[in-house]
Structure 1
Amino acid sequence: MIYVCLDDTDNLESRGTGKLSRTIANELSKNYPVYGVTRHQLYKHPEIPYTSHNTCSVIHIETDDDIDVKYNDELFEAVKFEMMADFIDGSDPGLAVAHEDQIKPALTAFGNDAKYKILNQQLARGLAKNLGIRLEGLGGTEDGVIGAMAGIGLAHTKNDGRFLLVKNNKLKGSNTVETVLNSGVDAVYTIDGRLVTKGVIVNDSKLTKPCPVNGEVILFVVEENGLLKAVNRG
């Protein structure tokens, strides 16, 4: 897997990083095997500038085992082009691309720290250099490099955040469990651990948002008054 992380691409008047990442993922899917897009929540603190939620987005690209770093560079340039074409004044975007073989425990720890601590560009850039990960700030203060590195570390755990897109399938509103499973979701569970195999899932959110859990795509639901309601976590 190759992970492409975007952070801090928006301002209060623009579309968010999540929407931009889905648009870029759709464009990449014309030439690359896009697995999905995940959203990861980072630390919300008065000393950290962010637009509304301080989240980053990671595009997951499936690869063969013998892929090399040149593939990373291709992806990096393709995504950089799309991000620069959509550059928003007042944003501080960062972009990072890493093959799973480049992701070491230090990067996972950095991602976890970014959920609870104030970090800095120097640490993010030093980590990228030492791990051989392509990282760039694309404008403004370039603080987006922090979230760009953190998102890769978090996505690689396969246990953080939620999916904004799975295999280019985007579900809205209410759907049968069968439809949800056919969209790329591996299983549907109630939050108390019961496997759900049939029924209609009611969703009050704009999109159905399953979660990565131990490498699987899982949608959680709660049962209320005989109805299955989607739980949008992360």
Structure 2
Amino acid sequence: MRILLSIDDTDNLESRGTGELASLIAEDLELFGWGRSRHVTRHQLLLHPDIPYTSHNSAMCFEAEIDEEALEPLIRHAGAFLQRESAPGSDPGLCVAVVDRVAGVEMLHFGERAKETVLTKEEAYALAARLGVHLSEHGGTGQGVVGALAGAGLRLGGNDGRMKGSLDIAGVMSVADLLGVPGVDAIQGMEGETVAPEDLVRVADKPKTVMVGGRSVLMVAPAQPEDGVRWQTLHRRELRRF
């Protein structure tokens, strides 16, 4: 079965980030033989004085294919992990959704609302119960359940989020060669421009991919004409819309 596992509000400014904890859960999933995981994505939610986030109010989510009998052990393991490893002062939440069992439009709408307005735990729990989605809190006030559900909804939509980490490449590469780099599913212009396999791209240090159409996409923009290079990768600040 295909699942989404999302966590939020596990860190503080001095601790390991929520993304690192998500990666460790994904690693455990594979280590225990429960299934295979895919990219961890970061989903930026609303920054507002009424939201008591601990660092940047971003949820982290990954997709996985798991054996059906592994669902409950994974949920128990992830919950205990968050209870044990989350930073002091954090309010961690966990969401695990079986993709084929949920109404994607409602979850996506919740995620989109969490980017624009203040939502409550009560709203999150009500939606999770209606959709049959696991939602649980693992320390502090548990306010992170809001972001955890929102992160899963945004990941389900397939058009939000930056991939955790960066690509270990730099220099000038062809589009065809870039498509052979692990973690790059597609390359496209920031304004929807089509790129050709033979086009050259100037790759900045540690470029990031974003989620578009459910794929890990390296976004590029037109480059200043030089030595036949047509495109250049973007700085992370230029990817904030994701």
The residue number in structure 1 matching 2:28 is 27
Find the aligned partners of 1:182 and 1:39 in 2 and give their Cα distance. Answer: 21
Aligned partners of 1:52, 1:173: CA distance in 2, in Å?
A: 29
- How big is each residue's C-alpha offset from its partner over 1:185-211, in whole Å with a ceiling of 9 and x where there is no partner? 12212224131535454234xx43212
- Give matches, 1:79-228, under 5 Å: 79-104=78-103, 105-164=105-164, 171-174=167-170, 176=173, 177=175, 178-179=177-178, 181-192=180-191, 193-197=193-197, 199=200, 201-204=202-205, 207-225=206-224, 226=226, 228=231
- From the superposition, tell whether residues 201 and 71 of structure 1 become closer, same or farther in structure 2 (CA, over 3 Å): farther
Partner of 1:6: 7
Compared with structure 1, are the counterparts of its residues 196 and 10 closer, same or farther at alpha carbon in structure 2 (3 Å cutoff)?
A: farther
TM-aligned CA deviation for residue 49 of structure 1: 1.3
* Separation in 2, partners of 1:201, 1:15: 32
3-state DSSP of counterpart to 1:195: coil
Which SS does the other structure have where 1:182 is aligned?
Answer: coil
Distance in structure 1 (CA, Å) of the matches to 2:180 and 2:220 = 14
Q: C-alpha deviations, 1:71-95, integer Å up to 9, x for none?
A: 3322212222332331211000000
Distance, in Å, in 2 between the alignment partners of 1:174 and 1:196 is: 19
Identity of aligned residues (%): 37
For residues 196 and 183 of structure 1, what CA distance do their matches in structure 2 show?
A: 19
Higher alpha-carbon Rg: 2
RMSD of aligned Cα (Å): 2.2
Question: Does the 8 Å CA contact 2:201/2:233 hold for their aligned counterparts?
Answer: no
187-196 vs 84-93, which deviates more?
187-196
* Partner AA of 1:3 in structure 2: L
Partners of 2:58 and 2:81 lie apart in 1 by 19
Structure 1 residues 153 and 212, CA, compared in 2 at 3 Å: closer, same or farther? same
* Structure 1 residue 40 corresponds to structure 2 residue 36: no
The runs of at least 4 consecutive aligned structure 1 residues that moved more than 6 Å come to none
* CA deviation after TM superposition for structure 1 residue 42, in Å: 0.6
Kindly tell me the number of residue pairs found equivalent between the two proteins: 224
Tell me, which stretches of 5 or more residues in structure 1 are unaligned?
none
Unmatched runs of 5 consecutive residues or more in structure 2:
none
TM-score normalised per structure 1: 0.86
